[in-house]
Every structure is written in structure tokens, then in C-alpha cells.
Structure 1
């Protein structure tokens, strides 16, 4: 138990709660409290007169025990014994500390406990009230149940073995990200179980070899057998899947299901499609297993040192895994975890998908800036120095790594000049483009960045086309300050479009999303962290549309002449800059009061009788003309 934990020992009167609680307290060397000592005088008098307590009698008592638990948890773990017969009572006892509560249910037959009670002296609860307690008892779903026929020392040993020996959290899949997250969890003091499949002759003892390689994993349990892995975890089990998205995720879920229990939690930490996450959520719900889709950004280093984490699913379920995710997440400027509950169903994976779409554009913009500066006559070292000087006004993680990339040499040659100009992708940019089309939201920059990658992959055809059409960019004459401002302008449009897509998805799917919180958890630990993202946290508290905020409006106005100049010069000099040019095209269209869409609508009515609205008809009625 690495987090401070309160162990509630529950059961009907006479089951031995106090005896077991005291002995367990001595073994674990943590404080013990008997809930009966906190009953108000009125409750004790009522019970001593042979009258059972009702829910109103118990409410203040349960709240006082919850307050006791919360106060103790600030300093240490503790043990509290309390009958806690109903789920509603247990909800009050664990309010606001649910993720730090362990339940132990001492269970026995009516006759067993009746015999015990009749042997007691001066017990204020008479044996004739026992039946009312059995009638009231609602068996807990997530409790360690122990039969009181065992000897007290055996009961204590069993509790200790369950709570001390079993792991709190499981990681399934030890690829690059799985390994980094495992080490991160272990470094934060959590006892974990790790699993990886074995392939005879190629991948053997993966989990054990990984465990042995790192000191922080000494207390971790390593497995290649699924059943043993699942059984090594405390209930409800918390298992994070770090496997390839798609069919592999479904196969792993099917492999796990036979060994899971009602109320266990599966956490998908891969780059899964949000639609599939919703389907898995519904499927596992039918099997009484909880499912959380979690976007994780930051790459290998972020996963180890602190990623940005985007969980979506049932909010109550999230609270059961919250302490683990928040502990391993990066911290923002105020020391808060870059992890927040995103919203319902597949919203966590949707937000991560859009994060990756924004990332595509940010990368493409830097590639275009590099191309412009190269055509202006600068070598990679000089371009790196120019970008370094931009940090004061446009710093970001991607800017920083681009500077490092440009400075990397192999002997006398820059490594970047030896890399084939074919950009790959893993599908999230494709999904984002599909989603923006389905939702009718103009995330044109994400589509442009994606198609730029697709175009790059046709290397052989591009070489032929270069000969056929003689496209040879000529030297540019631009001020470096204009290039910086064009870059800043395009980044504003990119962030507007990405955040707008998230906002529209929230409305369509009825997800309750907080864009300011999403921006906050993107200020550290993730690939798109930047000074501009930090600025957007406060901007988004006022309006989800950043282009209506006075500060952003003034920035766009001041940057617009530079983007106009840079794009026009690049087009005239035959230099491809798809995202820089699309950013200004987008704003020109978005900010046009009267567009050419009236022609489109007239055309639609001409050939398809799709109707149109008239500027001289305030009613908004639709019209059709016989063209």
C-alpha cells in the first residue's frame, strides 16, 4: 500500500471486527479506530433499548467516520472498523477518498455470530437485533471477503497477504511506451505487475529480463502467463493495455476476460480510434467490466518522466485509477498533474487524436519554415541559430527538437541532409481528417499536413514531375521577422481549428468537455506543449472560440501582413508551403462576410432542387427556382 490507505473492516455486529482490526493494526503498525466509539449518545441509548438505528440516525455517524478517515490519510494509513452494512453507507464512508479505500468483509452464518454475541458481556447490542442486521446487509462488490471460521491470526495473515503482496496496478505489453510507463509507476512507489507474451526462440522472458534491468522494478511482479498476471492484482483489478491499436487490442481483451471479475477495470493506453473505444466500452459494460480509453502523449521520454494523459469513460471509474495516472503525469506550471478527466465514452482518445492532428500541422509548419530559410541561403546550423532566436516569441517542444535535429552531424555532414524525404504516419492524422469531415468542421490545416505527408511518399513520381514541369524554387528575399510572424500566424489558425474540432465533437456526442483544462494538460509532457498553449489556458476560460478573444484578434491583425507577404513570395518563387498558404486561405475565407457560397447553392438548386435561402427574406424560408 504505497498510497496512504484506509482499511475499512465491515460486517454485522459480533463478527470480530474489533479483534481483527486491532491485530491488523499491530502487524501493519498503523492506527486503529473502532467505529462504535464514534456513535453519538442518542444512537447508543437507542440500541441499548433494543431499537435498531435507521438511516437518519446513522448519517451523521458515517460522515464523522469519513472525516476521521480523510484526516488520517493526510498523515498515514489507518484501520477503521464499522458495520457498513449498506452500499449507501459505504458510499458515505468512502466519499472523496474512494481510491484510497480497501474493504474487508468478515462474513459468517447467522448461527455462528449469534453464538458469539450471546457469549459477550456488556455488549450494548442485544442478540435479538442480529436478524435486522442480516436483513439490512448488502454484500459489497469490491471487498476482500473472509470467513470468520478461520482463526484470528489466519484472518490477519490473509488480509496482509492480499493487501501487501498483491500489486495495485498492472501493465500489459512491454513495448517502448509500456516499459517507460512501468518504470514511471514504480518510481512513484506503486507496486505493479508487468506482463509480456513470450515467443519461443525469439522473445523469451521479456517481462523478467526487463524487471531485472532496472532497480526501481525490484518490487514489481513479472509474468508471461495471463492468468497468473491477473491473479497477482488487488481487486478491483486495474490493468493498462499498452498494445497496438485495432485488432490486437480486441484480441488481448478477449484473452483477459475469462480471468477478470465484475468491476475490474481495463485501461487502453494505446492510440486507439475513438469509435472503437466507444464500442469496447459498451461491450465490456455488458460483461460488468469497466473500460477507460486513455490518450498518452510524450513519446518514450514523456512516458518515463511524465506524459500528458487524456482519460475518457465513466467518471466514477476514472476516480478508481486517478491516483495512478495523476502521479505519473507531467506537472504544469502550478504543479498540477497534466492529466484530467476528459469526458464520456471515447472522448479521451478523440482528444488525443486531435492532439496528433495539431501535431501534424506543427511539424509541417516547421518543415516549411526550414525550406524557406534553406532557399534563402542558410545552412542547417544557421537555420538552427535562427530558430533558437525565435524561442523568446514562439517556444515549443517541436521547435526545440527541430533545432537539435538541424545541428546533428555525422562527420562533416548534417544528418538531416542524408534523410530521405518520405514522411510516414501511423493513422491518427488520417482519423482526424475523417472526423473533421464527418463533423463538418473545417480543420483544413490538419488535412493539408496529412496530404503533404502522402505527397512526400510518391518520391519516384515527384522526381519525374520535377523534370517534366521544371519546378525549381528560386531564391527568396524575405525578412526573417516576416517568416517568424507567418509561422506564428499559422500556428494560431492551427490551434483554432483543432480546438474547434474538439468543441464540435463535444456538442455532437454530448461530451462535457473543458477546453481550458485540455489546453492546461497540453502545457507539459506532450509533443505540442508550447508557450502559446500556456497562453490559451486563460483565453479558453472565456470562450471556446479563440478567434473571438481580443488578445488573439490583435495578434492575428498584426501578423496578417507578414503571412500575406511570405505566402505570395513563396508561390511566385514556386516553393510548396501547403500549411502556411492554407492558414491564410482559411482566415480569408472564414473572415469573408459575403462569400461565393451563393453560387454553390444556386448550382445545387439548379441540378438537384436543393433549395436556397434569400437575402431579402428575413423569415429564413427555403426557396426553389425553375432555372
Structure 2
């Protein structure tokens, strides 16, 4: 459906239609056409001879202008100046395009316009014909009426205020997140254009049907044609891509490029790999098109009600889209948007990727707590009650939804008991694990959570292995307080590792990252929002390493005996708790003043002459031994 518009500026001769039309077209950046230029020669001669035109004279001229309008509307909106004095004339002008026509009537008194006509030189319309025009004029019913006594610029401002021809913001892709974000933008009062591809016979009228289904989208423009979609937007255009990460994003960019102009801004709101974001940033920069990689967290509900938003790219260009992103973002406890400028290039997508890595661990830790509580003989309702009691000390979004999940019944049984124990993933955990290896940062819990999901997928092998290797474990000796403390311990280690990974990326890529601000925008709208994140905001203002904070140190010391006990009991009783066990393994290694890495370095020197440094040589010189 084409939603371009034609503005017909109408009124008697001498009312200033041409002057206002040219100014309006410049303001809206759309083509301008003066209807007088399309009169046949016979009409011009008749008017020059002082003979008024009749309806028959005007008919072919009006049909010509109608064709002009329809041709223009295929690609863009436009302004056409035409006296259009009678209702019958206006019907001809709007034939086949009534919903795409906007009428603006420039109104003035006879004396006012008569004076203007007499001061106008070299025009075929004589002031002697003015009275016939007033006699012919039939007041339009559905037109914006503007008094010509205003200054030309004031008239143009009044028209543009009433007739918003171009949308402020474009959404490309109406999947779950795209739909929610578009509704969010519309609810905030922004004029938006929506685009979704159509597949004949399977997916048709996606954008139009979506627009029709939601009242807040009444003023939105819906498209399945890329060129019309792009042309519907104000320049510089701001287009948010909500498509699947990977090659599809590149294909969409290539489809858009032919219709974009210098200075337009593309915003990738998908879960793209940060390295690809850097490539796209550089590629589009060479074409004078700006690119911003934006991490969006919160799922379907968050996108609609307010997500956490992590934008990265050129800061000056980010300011062009900041009002839109700030408006739709969730609000923190101080009513500030959970959106902040992260840094250059792919930093926004990197931070979102790590957010998802932390999320993987938080989910896995809850699954391990669930495993222990189930092994203690609790049913899902009882486990839900126990987890709900955790909220006074460890409240989080994921804890809350886990309680809801465990209480959900399906018939006579709990739904969770009927769900196959194979966990999927969409790639961000994999990317985070690769990134932590590339940057040399020990985010071991993220890797453990990812590999736990991979292990779960070997369901058939696990069933066979269970028969071949499992013994009958004895009852574990754990109390609920120890379970809660172990859970909290592992969560602190998880957040340390995730934030450390972000810090190391900032150093490696020269991104000026503010970890306290990143923690702040994670306090609402996102999947990992929690009381712990809230507590880390002031801690991160002092140091990027949360394990140097006296408050955190004291907390970890008090929790350490519980994690030791929980992990020991679970291992002895053959319960898989990969993230809980890794948290204490990492911590024991991290806090060891002297490790066994000296032996590893000696081994490397033995077989590969990789050298080593000596504890009794303060110079830092590297040595080699002929073993």
C-alpha cells in the first residue's frame, strides 16, 4: 500500500499559491508543481484575452493534473498548486487517490487579493477575472484553511504542523521485537513508518494488518515496498533494522542503500556480532551513511513497555537518534532512561552480547538450584515457595519468572515436568565464549553455562550413560540458607567475570566505557535486572573490579563456607552443578597468591623453548633451560 501524499494548494488566483507551494516543497523536501504550467495553450489564450474558463475548458487540464499526481505518488509525496474552485474540480483532481490527497485552502478577501494581482507583472490572469473566481469558488469541506494575511513562512509552518507528510522514524522488520518497539514508539507520540516483506501466498499485508490491529498505530505508515518506505521518512532518515542477525542484516542493508541519501542513519537493533557491526560501520561510512549498533534487551514485553538499550557508534550521530531511544527505554529508579551511549563502533552490541552471557549463567545457576531443591524432595510448587523466599536477599527478574514457571500446571501435573530437558541457544553465548578466549579474560562461568546447554542436547546419549554409569546417590545434607548463599556467591563471581570481560574489551578496542553507567541501564527493562546490579552501580564508580570493594569482599567472605559445602555435597552425590562448582574453582584460583602455573611454564619451556621468568630475577628477563 502506497501512503505517499499529494498536497493540493487551492484558492483564487493571486492568493499566493505558487509562492507558498515552493516554500512548502522546500520545507518538506518533496517536488513542487504549479498547475498553471499545465494549462493547454487554448486556455492560456482565453484567459489572456480576459475570458473566464468554463468547466469544459478546465476538464482536460484537471485530468492532466490528476495523472501528474498519481505518477508522482508512486515514488514520493508532492505539492501541486491549482485553483480547484469547485467541488467537482476537486473530485477530478483526487480521482483514484482520495485517501492520499490533502487540501489546503489559502483564503483572503477580495480587496486583499485584487491588490496583489494588480502588482503582479507578466501573468496571463487579469485582475478583471478575479470576481468570476470568487463567484465560482465553493468552500471545501475537508481542507486546512489558512489566512493569507500571515507571512509566507508562518503559513508554511502552519501547514507543516497540521500536515505531517514524513515520518520521523522507520522500523524495518516486524518480528516479535520489531512489532513491540514500533508500538512503543507510536505510544510515545512519534510518527513512524513500518516495513515488512511480503511473500505471496504465505505472508501478505504484514505491515498493513499489524497497523490495523493496534489503535496506537493509526497514524503510522505501513509498507511492503522498500523505496516507498524510505521515501516516507524525514531526512536524515532514521531506520531501525529489526531482522535476524547475520547475512540477512547485510542483505537488508544492500537493499536499502540505493534509496538512502548522504547522512541517513541505519540502526541495527538485532543481536548482531560486534565484529560484524564494526565491519558494517566502516562499510557504510565509506558511503556517507551512518551506522549504529544497538543492543536491545527485555524480550517482547520489555520492547513494548520499555527495554534496556545499549547503543554504540559515533557519538555525534547517536545524538540524532537519542531522543527516540531514550523515550522508548525503561526508566531506572530515578526515572532516567535505561539507555546510555556505550562507545564507538561495535561496543553497544558487545555489551549486549556480554549481557546475554551473564544471562546464560544466571539461568543455569537457577537450574542448578532447582536441581538441588528437587533432590531434597521438593515438588515444583514447594521449590517455587523456596525461591520466592530468596527474593528478600536475591531478587531478580529471572528469579521471579522461575517462580511463575514452577507454579504453572498442565492438567494434574506441573508443566515444567513435561518439558524436554534440551536447552537451545541463539549464538550470543557462543560469541561471548569466543570473545573471552580472544581477549584472554577468564569468563569461565559463561563458557560453563554454554557447555551445559550443549551437553543437555545429547539427550539420547545421556539416557544411555545414565544406565551405564550412574549409582544411587545418597540424600544430600544441605539447608536452604546454604543453597541461597551459594547461589549469591556464584552470582557475584558471574557479574565480576562479565564486567571484567567488558572492561578488557574497552582496553583492547580503545572504547571509553563507563561500567557504572552500563550497570545502571541494566537495572530495568532487561533480562538480568536485579537487586545485585543495583548494588553494583556505586561500587563500579570506584573501580571496574568489583572484587576490590570492601562491601563485596565482606559479602564474599561470609558466603564462601556455603559454596564450599554445597559444591562438595553435590559432587559427592553426583549432582551436576557446572556453574556453581566453576564459581568456586575460579575463585580459589583467582585468590591463590601462588599457583601451579610455574610448572606449566616449565613444561612449555621443556618441549617448546617458550622461556620463563624467575622469581629471583627482578629485571623481568626471560630465561631458557636445556632440560
TM-score (norm 2): 0.75
Q: Distance in 2 between matches of 1:459 and 1:172?
A: 38
Are the structure 2 counterparts of residues 154 and 590 from structure 1 closer, same or farther at C-alpha, using a change threshold of 3 Å?
closer
Partner of residue 316, structure 2: 316
Q: Does 1:537 align with 2:540?
A: no
Q: Distance in 2 between matches of 1:242 and 1:221?
A: 17
Cα offsets for 1:210-244 (capped at 9, x unmatched): 00000000000000000000000000000000000
Are the structure 2 counterparts of residues 512 and 163 from structure 1 closer, same or farther at C-alpha, using a change threshold of 3 Å?
farther
After TM superposition, the runs of 4+ consecutive aligned structure 1 residues lying more than 3 A away are 151-155, 471-474
For residue 291 of structure 2, give the secondary structure of its aligned residue in structure 1: strand
Partner of residue 253, structure 2: 253
TM-superposed deviation, 1:465: 0.5
Partner of residue 371, structure 2: 371
Q: Distance in 2 between matches of 1:280 and 1:479?
A: 52
Partner of residue 237, structure 1: 237
For residue 364 of structure 1, give the secondary structure of its aligned residue in structure 2: helix
Are the structure 2 counterparts of residues 601 and 288 from structure 1 closer, same or farther at C-alpha, using a change threshold of 3 Å?
same
TM-superposed deviation, 1:474: 3.3
Partner of residue 501, structure 1: 501
Partner of residue 576, structure 1: 576
Cα offsets for 1:79-117 (capped at 9, x unmatched): xxxxxxxxxxxxxxxxxxxxxxxxxxxxxxxxxxxxxxx
TM-superposed deviation, 1:477: 1.6
Cα offsets for 1:441-462 (capped at 9, x unmatched): 0000000000000000000000
Larger Rg computed on CA atoms: 2
For residue 201 of structure 1, give the secondary structure of its aligned residue in structure 2: coil
For residue 575 of structure 1, give the secondary structure of its aligned residue in structure 2: coil
Partner of residue 147, structure 1: none
Partner of residue 280, structure 2: 280
Partner of residue 525, structure 1: 525
Aligned residue pairs total 486
For residue 164 of structure 2, give the secondary structure of its aligned residue in structure 1: helix
TM-superposed deviation, 1:423: 0.2
Q: Distance in 2 between matches of 1:476 and 1:219?
A: 61
* Alignment check: 8 A CA contact 1:375 1:474 kept: no
Partner of residue 400, structure 1: 400
Partner of residue 380, structure 2: 380
CA RMSD across the alignment: 2.2
Are the structure 2 counterparts of residues 277 and 159 from structure 1 closer, same or farther at C-alpha, using a change threshold of 3 Å?
farther
- How do 1:59-458 residues align onto structure 2 when only pairs under 5 Å count? 152=152, 156=156, 160=160, 164-458=164-458
Are the structure 2 counterparts of residues 419 and 471 from structure 1 closer, same or farther at C-alpha, using a change threshold of 3 Å?
farther
Are the structure 2 counterparts of residues 473 and 311 from structure 1 closer, same or farther at C-alpha, using a change threshold of 3 Å?
farther
Partner of residue 547, structure 2: 547
Q: Distance in 1 between matches of 2:170 and 2:583?
A: 44
For residue 164 of structure 1, give the secondary structure of its aligned residue in structure 2: coil
Are the structure 2 counterparts of residues 614 and 254 from structure 1 closer, same or farther at C-alpha, using a change threshold of 3 Å?
same
TM-superposed deviation, 1:473: 3.9
TM-superposed deviation, 1:153: 8.3
Are the structure 2 counterparts of residues 255 and 159 from structure 1 closer, same or farther at C-alpha, using a change threshold of 3 Å?
farther
Partner of residue 148, structure 2: none
Q: What are the ranges of 5 or more consecutive residues in structure 2 without an aligned counterpart?
A: 1-15, 28-118, 120-150
Q: What are the ranges of 5 or more consecutive residues in structure 1 without an aligned counterpart?
A: 1-15, 28-118, 120-150
* Alignment check: 8 A CA contact 1:162 1:234 kept: no
Q: Distance in 2 between matches of 1:233 and 1:360?
A: 38
TM-superposed deviation, 1:475: 2.2
Q: Distance in 2 between matches of 1:154 and 1:545?
A: 57
TM-superposed deviation, 1:156: 2.4
- How do 1:579-594 residues align onto structure 2 when only pairs under 5 Å count? 579-594=579-594
Q: Does 1:602 align with 2:602?
A: yes
Are the structure 2 counterparts of residues 608 and 312 from structure 1 closer, same or farther at C-alpha, using a change threshold of 3 Å?
same
Q: Distance in 2 between matches of 1:291 and 1:556?
A: 42
